[in-house]
Amino acid sequence: MLIILLGAQGTGKGTVAGILSKRNNWIQLSTGDIFRENIAKGTELGIEADKHISKGCLVPDEITISMVEKRLEELNDAPGIILDGFPRNIIQAEKLDEILSKKGQKVDWVVNLETPREEIITRMLNRRVCSNQDCKSTFNIEIFPPKVDGICDVCGSELKIREDDSDPKAIEKRLEIYDTQTKPLIDFYNKKGIVIVEEISKRINRFAEEACDDIMEKIK
């Protein structure tokens, strides 16, 4: 089973991917997480990725695609994979199809997460992530606060604001890139008839757990 999670930044892709992978024993492959791990460790990949991420830009396709291809190779025996943050443009989506078809695999489902734009911006500003790279739990100081202010419920490490969430210019750039480069993927996958749409928003009081119940029902 291979599922792609689409949605603008702050819609809850990471949270939904985390819940689905926990429930089903699937592997969550988050390109953003891999980049952040590499940045924290100061690897060559991290140094290069940081130049783009800190400005809210996409990391160049050749770097991202080869990183994902390598990781998918390592996950050959996984019962399920959730791609969180990849693909992010048509070139990456076409390349993914090519990589999978070589292995006799395909994208099974694409979950498109939708959240009103004004909620997205508030969510990014309210997002706090665990500084422990092995934990990476995510909180929201308004709708999903930690029990102790500034401390991760799961591992007790300090929570921090993601660097690209704290810069309004970077947020704006990321949303613009989503609209121009990532959104066209909805059409790309709609043509294959594999898109599931889920709204996650305060507006309709619908959050990640409920969306995951619905996703599981639909992909049964």
Residues that bind ligand AMP (CB under 6 A): 9, 31-32, 35, 52-53, 57-59, 64, 85-88, 92, 164, 174
Of 207, 200, 189, whose CA–CA distance to 106 is shortest? Answer: 189
Per DSSP, 158 falls in state B
Say how far residue 93 (Cα) sits from the centre of its chain.
Answer: 15
Nearer Cβ to ligand AMP (63/78): 63
**String of DSSP letters for 85-102:** S---SHHHHHHHHHHHHH
Nearer Cβ to ligand AMP (32/215): 32
Beta carbon of residue 217, minimum distance to ligand AMP (angstroms, whole number): 26
* Residues with active-site annotation: 13, 88, 127, 162, 174
Burial letters 191-207, b for 16+ CB under 10 A, else e: eeebbbebebbeeeeeb
* Number of other CB atoms surrounding residue 145 within 10 Å: 14
Beta carbon of residue 45, minimum distance to ligand AMP (angstroms, whole number): 12
Whose tokens are 């613009």? That residue is 176
Question: Which residue number is nearest to ligand AMP in terms of Cβ?
Answer: 32
Beta carbon of residue 6, minimum distance to ligand AMP (angstroms, whole number): 11
Nearer Cβ to ligand AMP (18/85): 85
Beta carbon of residue 207, minimum distance to ligand AMP (angstroms, whole number): 19
Nearer Cβ to ligand AMP (169/220): 169
